[in-house]
């Protein structure tokens, strides 16, 4: 069993915030992969399902971001899991919007949710860092993370979340490389070669020499034309 944790703040007021992209990620996974209904447990909301051969518990702590570790620690102890069985999805200021990285362990980068989880279960959990960009000044960070994604950002946000969902079975199986590939295919799909293939016959037709018209003259007419 693995525990996938999406970080965010509870309540409609925060639902569209950049700080809640972790909630959005696990919501997308739950919807796309047919997880059971969300129910209240471990000071949060939890849903059960499978990703590939792995049983997965999705958790959205409702303690508010700064106390996320209380919920994660409680769930981890109940299911008798190790820190290595826990994967946390959260917003990352130091990555450009739409970028995503996966790592195990490491620093906290000033993220209060990570700090709380680290304090309760230690640092050796997997982190899915989802870029939301930096506002440029430290004094603008709080306003930035607690503001909603703009309408102009909805396309890349939707592609990214669908990519996370597409690759979730690979992540559950421990293959972060294939997970990242699934995200990349949604965010930056390869260009289709159909257009080029369709264009080829047209250009070929342009350069092809015109065929001579059939000669319908009689042998006598052709002979007479030689002496004109």
Q: What are phi and psi of 104, to 5 degrees?
A: -110, 130
Query: Measuring CA to CA, which residue among 198, 156, 202, 163 is closest to residue 181?
Result: 163
Task: Output Rg (C-alpha) for the chain, integer angstroms.
Answer: 29
**And the tokens for 140?**
């603008």
Partnered with residue 87 across adjacent β-strands are: 4, 126
Positions marked active-site: 19
CA distances from residue 95 to 20, 81, 122, 146 in whole angstroms, order as listed? 16, 30, 24, 17
């Amino acid at each position: 069993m693995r525990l996938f944790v999406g970080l965010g703040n509870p309540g409609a007021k925060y639902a569209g915030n950049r700080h809640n992209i972790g909630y959005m990620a696990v919501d997308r996974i739950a919807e796309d992969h047919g997880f059971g209904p969300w129910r209240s447990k471990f000071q949060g909301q939890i849903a059960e399902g499978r990703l590939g051969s792995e049983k997965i518990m999705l958790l959205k702590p409702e303690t508010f971001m700064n106390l996320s570790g209380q919920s994660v620690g409680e769930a981890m102890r109940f299911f008798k899991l190790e820190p290595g069985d826990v994967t946390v999805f959260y917003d990352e200021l130091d990555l450009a919007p739409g970028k995503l990285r996966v790592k195990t362990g490491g620093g906290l980068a000033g993220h209060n949710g990570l700090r709380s989880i680290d304090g309760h279960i230690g640092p050796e959990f997997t982190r899915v860092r989802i870029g939301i960009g930096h506002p440029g000044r430290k004094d603008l960070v709080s306003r930035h993370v607690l503001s909603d994604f703009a309408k102009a950002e909805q396309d890349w946000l939707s592609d990214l979340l669908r990519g996370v969902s597409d690759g979730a079975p690979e992540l559950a199986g421990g293959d972060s490389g294939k997970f990242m590939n699934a995200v990349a295919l949604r965010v930056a799909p390869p260009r289709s070669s159909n257009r080029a293939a369709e264009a080829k016959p047209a250009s070929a037709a342009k350069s092809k020499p015109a065929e001579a018209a059939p000669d319908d003259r009689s042998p006598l007419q052709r002979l007479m034309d030689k002496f004109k």
